[in-house]
Amino acid sequence: MRKRHPLDSKLLCGALGAAGLFCVLEVAGRVGLIDPAAFPLASVVLGRAASLVTDGEFLSDVLSTLGVWATGLTIAFMVAVPAGFLLGTVPAAEKAMRPIVEFLRPIPSIALIPLALAVFSERFDMKVTLVVYAATWPILINTMYGLKDVDPLAKETLRSFGFGNPAVLWRVSLPSTAPFIATGVRLASAVALIVAISAELLGGGSDGIGSYVLESAGGVDAVEYVTAAAMWAGVIGVLTNGLFVLVERRVFRWHTARTEVV
């Protein structure tokens, strides 16, 4: 008998959990625990979500959100990884920048929306900037943490054979840190999606899932449309996270086997 893969078991449990929640909400609406006039039945919301698949306006908004998400996440990666290596390998730089990092990191990106609106005339630039700001921190911190986890014996062994710091960084530090960077990117991916939709919702504009939710909130069957759009935002989050998990498992199989962490 073939042994079930742990990832298969988690997918099955997740699917059962989602189905169970759907059934609970549907029954609660049917028996009157939840007023259908205030919040529609789960089956109605699911049907509305299915209808959005053929809604060209909604699909265009999804692509717009994904464009902001992908652009911001890519820029954050390109900024955070080099910065993380600099702060993680140069103690003087880390000491000088640590107070600034700790000051900026807790500031919510959403709180910066009024400032971003004043600085950027283009909504796309505004949203991407906020995504970059929010997504940079998980990648930066994980890169720095990964560098601290590099085996010092491996670095000293390479140096004893005459290799300089650039070679040690390329041959030892980068491969050892790569799984941590990948985890940081996966965490940043979820943050980037949240910030992108929030910026669309609060920052105005005419495109994106957040803008679709804002427009739907003033129309007929508003709760159905808003909830269905929120469901699709959650589905996108689950799919992107699952994609990153799959890539991590395939590319860093050795690290996953050692840590047994998804």
CATH number of residue 212's parent domain = 1.10.3720.10
Domain assignment of residue 29, yes or no: no
Tally the domains of the chain. Answer: 1
* Residue-level pLDDT at 222: 84
Domain assignment of residue 7, yes or no: no
Domain assignment of residue 32, yes or no: no
Domain that holds residue 218: 54-259
Segment 106-132 mean pLDDT: 91
How far apart, in whole angstroms, are the C-alpha atoms of residue 192 and residue 185? 10
Closest C-alpha to 145, from 99, 184, 105, 172? 184
Percentage above 90 pLDDT, the chain = 34
Lowest mean pLDDT among 59-73, 103-117, 121-135, 158-172: 158-172
Is the pLDDT assigned to residue 161 strictly greater than 70?
A: no
Model confidence at 91, pLDDT cuts 50, 70, 90, reads confident
Model confidence at 4, pLDDT cuts 50, 70, 90, reads low
Segment 4-32 mean pLDDT: 74
Percentage above 70 pLDDT, the chain = 85
The rounded mean pLDDT for the chain is 84
CA dihedral sign, ordered 41, 43, 44, 46: positive
Closest C-alpha to 225, from 71, 5, 50, 13? 50
**pLDDT tens by residue, 162-207:** 666 776 676 777 778 888 999 999 999 999 999 999 999 887 777 8
CB atoms within 10 A of CB 56: 7
Is the pLDDT assigned to residue 64 strictly greater than 90?
A: yes
Q: Decide which of 10 and 214 is more confident.
A: 214
Lowest mean pLDDT among 33-37, 117-121, 125-129: 33-37
* Residue-level pLDDT at 1: 46
Domain assignment of residue 173, yes or no: yes
| Cβ(20)–Cβ(7) below 8 Å | no
Domain assignment of residue 153, yes or no: yes
Q: What are the start-end ranges of the E strands in the chain?
A: none
Tracing tokens 């940081």 back to the chain, one arrives at 184
* Residue-level pLDDT at 198: 92
Q: Decide which of 70 and 242 is more confident.
A: 70
Model confidence at 151, pLDDT cuts 50, 70, 90, reads low
Reading the block at residue 108, the tokens are 């919510």
Q: In whole angstroms, how far apart are CA 171 and each of 88, 116, 230, 252?
A: 16, 40, 44, 16
Domain assignment of residue 80, yes or no: yes
| Cβ(34)–Cβ(25) below 8 Å | yes
Segment 196-219 mean pLDDT: 86
3-state secondary structure of 185: helix
Q: For residue 208, give the DSSP letter.
A: S
| Torsion of Cα atoms, 78 then 80 then 81 then 84, to 10° | 160
Domain assignment of residue 195, yes or no: yes
How far apart, in whole angstroms, are the C-alpha atoms of residue 218 and residue 16? 34
Whole-model pTM?
A: 0.84
Segment 129-141 mean pLDDT: 95
Domain assignment of residue 244, yes or no: yes
Segment 66-79 mean pLDDT: 96
